Amino acid sequence: MRPALAEPLRAASLFCAAVAVVLFLVHERGDGARWDVLASLAAGAACFGAWAVLTRRTPPSGPPAPAPAPLPAPPSVLLRNPVDWYLAAGMALVAVAPWAVFRYAAYQEIHLGGVVLGGLLCGGWAAAVLWILVKKVLVRPLSKAHRLLAQDAEAGRVVAVRFEVGSAEWIRFVPEDSTALIDAEPQVAQMLKVRDAVGDWYGVHGLNQDPNGPDHARKQLAVFGPRYAGSGVWMLWPQRWELVLSVVRRRRNPAYPVAVVADSGEMVWGYASLDYTDRYLTNPANLRATTPGLQALPVLPRPYFRGAVHGRLLLRLAIAAAALAPLLLDMVSGGTGATLGLLAAVALMDAPFAARRGTGKVPDPSRWTIPPVEDLRLPPSPTPRHG
């Protein structure tokens, strides 16, 4: 019952927020309280709260349907990550809401120059967010290296090796060039831990290099790792890996594009380090034909409530709601109302950044193995290699 209710509640909260934004845009300030907007905001908050209660203890990664047998050959169709429509709707609201709120609070309340200046700032914000929405979320671009891998798979041949999934890892390390002697700030990276046929452990990093990329692409390893722990998977490299090598070895952190495909057909895109993959690529026995027409579908995580992430988001939304309440109840006007509208707009702008900071810094122990910080300035310890 919970999964059946969670998605409608999440959609309803976004719908209520959209209604409130539209009401801000179509009606200007007038006498009397705006009970229509207040009702929309209250309904959205209630839906979000119900979603949080239903999903706060939801198992983060349920087991897949049992595969009849290991895939005898890799798939030929490697699909891009699907569109996260909830993220798309949320970004559209974040783009428009600050301007709608500021316009409602300031228009005909302060000097026109202040309204224009605030409109330019909010308009620039909206343009930037909408550009990211179209470019990164709706178009869902793959890197050139990953497109090369997809083309080789469709053409019929890739380098493919069987691995066993271990877990999802959260790597924290102090870079070699760090000069801090006290409280050095560690860098973080997410990876999928895998083991080859001889028992050596390695790592595959996900598509989390781009901070503006689809949010679910950052969460895929967290779902894939626990779901397929102990299961065999195919790791795929492009047949034309030498072409990739000629380009990526000039980068600071060179890595090959890979796709990790479970026997159920679910997959994740990622990167594998050059230092351990070359021996697989140079073995002619690993060059395999793909199965025509067989598709691999990227994992699409189902979000659930996390205080470390959603708490930051809710705090900004609460600040915006508190700033808007006197306006909507017609208790303030003039410069005071415009200032409150500006405060609400800034809080709404910071909300997605706050949630992203929580996602990037606070690992979820139910999905990730969290090792201690490794200081790369010290002699290496005998730990598994991380790709």
Of 144, 146, 148, 157, give the one whose Cα is nearest residue 75. Answer: 157
pLDDT of residue 77: 94
* Structural contact between residues 237 and 159, judged by C-beta atoms closer than 8 angstroms: yes
pLDDT digits 0-9 by tens, 32-57: 888 999 999 999 999 999 999 888 87
Distance of CA 291 to the CA centre of its chain: 30
Cα separation, 179 vs 13, whole angstroms: 46
The owner of tokens 């009606």 is 27
pLDDT of residue 211: 44
Give, for 35, the enclosing helix (H) or strand (E).
Answer: helix 35-55
Indicate the pLDDT class of residue 163, thresholds 50, 70 and 90.
very high
Q: What 8-state DSSP symbol labels residue 284?
A: G
**Main-chain phi, psi angles of 273, to 5 degrees:** -65, 150
* Structural contact between residues 215 and 159, judged by C-beta atoms closer than 8 angstroms: no
Indicate the pLDDT class of residue 64, thresholds 50, 70 and 90.
low
pTM score, two decimals? 0.82
Cα separation, 155 vs 147, whole angstroms: 12
pLDDT higher than threshold 60 for residue 60: no
The residue-averaged pLDDT of 64-86 equals 82
Q: Which amino acid is at 177?
A: D
- Measured in residues, the chain has a length of 387
Q: Which amino acid is at 9?
A: L
Of 80, 142, 83, 167, give the one whose Cα is nearest residue 363. Answer: 167
The owner of tokens 């301007």 is 99
Cα separation, 345 vs 23, whole angstroms: 16
- Measured CA to CA in angstroms, residue 27 lies from 22, 30, 278, 320 at distances of 9, 8, 63, 19
pLDDT higher than threshold 50 for residue 1: no
pLDDT digits 0-9 by tens, 321-354: 999 999 898 888 888 888 898 999 999 999 988 8
Helix, strand and coil percent figures for the chain, each rounded to 5: 50, 20, 30
Q: For the residues of 367-378, what is the DSSP string, one character each?
A: T-B-PPPEETTS
Burial of residue 231, with CB atoms counted within 10 A of its CB: 0-12 exposed, 13-18 middle, 19 or more buried? middle
- Measured CA to CA in angstroms, residue 194 lies from 73, 201, 363, 381 at distances of 19, 6, 19, 19
- % of the chain exceeding 70 in pLDDT: 90
Residue 172 Rama label (left phi>0; alpha psi -120 to 50; beta): beta
pLDDT of residue 26: 87
Cα separation, 55 vs 345, whole angstroms: 29
The residue-averaged pLDDT of 246-272 equals 86
pLDDT digits 0-9 by tens, 210-232: 544 455 666 788 889 888 988 89
Instruction: Write down the mean pLDDT value for the chain.
Output: 85
pLDDT of residue 217: 64
Q: What is the bridge-based pairing of β-strands 287-289 and 157-174?
A: antiparallel
Evaluate the CA torsion angle 154, 73, 144, 91 in order and state its sign. positive
pLDDT of residue 349: 93
Give the tokens for residue 172: 């924290």
pLDDT digits 0-9 by tens, 104-127: 888 777 777 877 888 888 889 999
Evaluate the CA torsion angle 360, 366, 371, 373 in order and state its sign. positive
Burial of residue 119, with CB atoms counted within 10 A of its CB: 0-12 exposed, 13-18 middle, 19 or more buried? middle
Indicate the pLDDT class of residue 66, thresholds 50, 70 and 90.
low
